[in-house]
Amino acid sequence: MTKITFLGGCRQVGASAVLVEQGGARIVMDYGTAFNGTQRVPLPTSTRNLTSVLTHAHLDHSGNLPMIAGSQTHSVPMYTTKLTKELVRLLLDDMIRIGGDSLAFERTEVKNLLKNTQTRTYNESFQVHPKMRVTLHDAGHIPGSASILVETEANGNGAARIFYTGDLNTTNTQLVKGAPNPRQLGDLDVVIVESTYALENHPSRKNTEKEFVKNVRKTLENGGTALIPAFAVGRSQEVLTVLAQHRHQGLDYPIFLDGMARKVTRLMQGQSKSFSGGEKFNKAVQQATFIRKHSDREAATKDPAIIIAPAGMLKGGAAQRYMKDIAADAHSTVFLVGKQLPGTPGAELLHQRQFRTKTDNGKPSIVPVKAQVESYNFSCHVDRQDVINFLRQTRGNPKILTMHGDAAACESLAQTIRNRFGFDAVAATSGQTVTIN
């Protein structure tokens, strides 16, 4: 009998963690934090014969891992790709620098986690316990990202093949190719699938890029700054690669990179051979100027230029500082390139044209915004049509469990899959255990 327990990440985006148990062996797939950073995920009931596997570096999948795979009281090995390991090192260090005492772990746990981490390449099957094998498959989400295939073995009955998508994208982006057809995985018993955009379809990528480049150019020609607040891991590098390809089509202006995006870019540059868009990305990095000191920042907004800076939803980071500088300038434009969750400064900026920040002496202030604000969909997740297509192509009539989306998205995807294709599909609930065989 194989047991799957959802420790977190159900009917919400954030705090993803799924436990698989078979014959005394346990494997936890992802162990992330909620986006507000406060939510703790329950620990697996036992750490005996426990292994952890990580899909990718984003903190909603990795942010709590030091709690189990970095613990000083028990030893839990961790497996992931090489690039993800390096990104995790960077992100967790940064998390400690910002979060300090409010976190449930310290530098020692992060150090242990990295020491306990073994890296694996895509499609390389490896044994984590005598009765459990794991394979990482390219998930097409960001460089280094993987989906996880767990194969449990049993004498007689109880064997199962479980596929956990993690964050999945089947569409090609500048940095990575879309995830391959799931048919190549063979017959599956269970698919645990993300549902982030299960209620909407993305516009065509090509048109989004075209429109984005056209409007960046317009801002620059009008003498303004094009500020692009973007997530440090993945989105900043994707947008940089898009822009660099249009240098000779009227975009021959300086491109500045600031904040955490700089370190992540350097790291990805060092491992650019490991993702399909690596060569293109390396060329793009050569077009960018890395901000080094405060005076560079001031200079960056003086003349028309493109600035890529985290945070993606303007919750802190270098983007906030630039926003203050350009808010009153009607010639400048803020290009939002990621989802703006309700309650974030980015959402307020987009819908109310105002910017919530702090004055230099720390007092809260609301700044009216004269700069233009535009939003573009550069999603690196499957949309409704993509995820339905993906599931339709799986073999073996697997049980489908949806997670990593709000309740409506998870339920709608499960219902569609059930009604349209006759799969046994349910929206999982955090804390729920599902038994196979």
Cβ proximity to Zn ion: between 58 and 315 the closer is 58
Cβ proximity to Zn ion: between 168 and 426 the closer is 168
**Minimum gap (Å) between residue 268 Cβ and Zn ion:** 15
What is each CA distance from 152 to 19, 233, 394, in whole angstroms? Answer: 13, 33, 19
- Fill in the per-residue mask, 40 to 79: x = in contact with Zn ion (CB under 5 A), - = not in contact: ------------------x---------------------
One-character DSSP codes across 344-396: SHHHHHHHHSEEEEE-TTS-EEEEE--SEEEE-----S-BHHHHHHHHHT-BS
Please pick, from the candidates 167, 194, 325, 411, the single residue that binds Zn ion as defined by CB under 5 A. Answer: 167
Residue nearest to Zn ion (CB): 58
**Minimum gap (Å) between residue 353 Cβ and Zn ion:** 29
Cβ proximity to Zn ion: between 169 and 320 the closer is 169
Residues pairing with 403 in the sheet: 194
Cβ proximity to Zn ion: between 191 and 382 the closer is 382
Q: How many residues bind Zn ion (CB under 5 A)?
A: 2
Q: What's the token pair of residue 39?
A: 């939510």
Q: Binding of Zn ion at residue 399 (CB under 5 A)?
A: no
**Quick one: which segment of 161-169, 312-320, 335-343, 426-434 binds Zn ion (CB under 5 A)?**
161-169
Cβ proximity to Zn ion: between 58 and 399 the closer is 58
Chain centroid offset of residue 134 CA: 21
**Minimum gap (Å) between residue 236 Cβ and Zn ion:** 14
Rounded Cα gap, residues 326 and 371, in angstroms: 7
Helix/strand/coil for 104: coil
Cβ proximity to Zn ion: between 23 and 140 the closer is 140
Q: In what order do the strands lie in the sheet with 305-309?
A: 288-290, 255-257, 305-309, 225-229, 333-336, 372-375
Cβ proximity to Zn ion: between 165 and 219 the closer is 165
**Quick one: which segment of 17-25, 162-170, 183-191, 390-398 binds Zn ion (CB under 5 A)?**
162-170
Cβ proximity to Zn ion: between 16 and 265 the closer is 16
Residue the block writes with tokens 């028309």: 304
**Minimum gap (Å) between residue 404 Cβ and Zn ion:** 9
What is each CA distance from 58 to 49, 149, 311, in whole angstroms? Answer: 26, 19, 13
Residue 147 near residue 120 (C-beta atoms within 8 A): no
Q: Binding of Zn ion at residue 30 (CB under 5 A)?
A: no
**Minimum gap (Å) between residue 141 Cβ and Zn ion:** 6
Q: What's the token pair of residue 117?
A: 């981490």
In total, the chain counts a number of residues equal to 437
Q: Binding of Zn ion at residue 209 (CB under 5 A)?
A: no
Rounded Cα gap, residues 267 and 272, in angstroms: 9
The residues binding Zn ion (CB under 5 A) are 58, 167
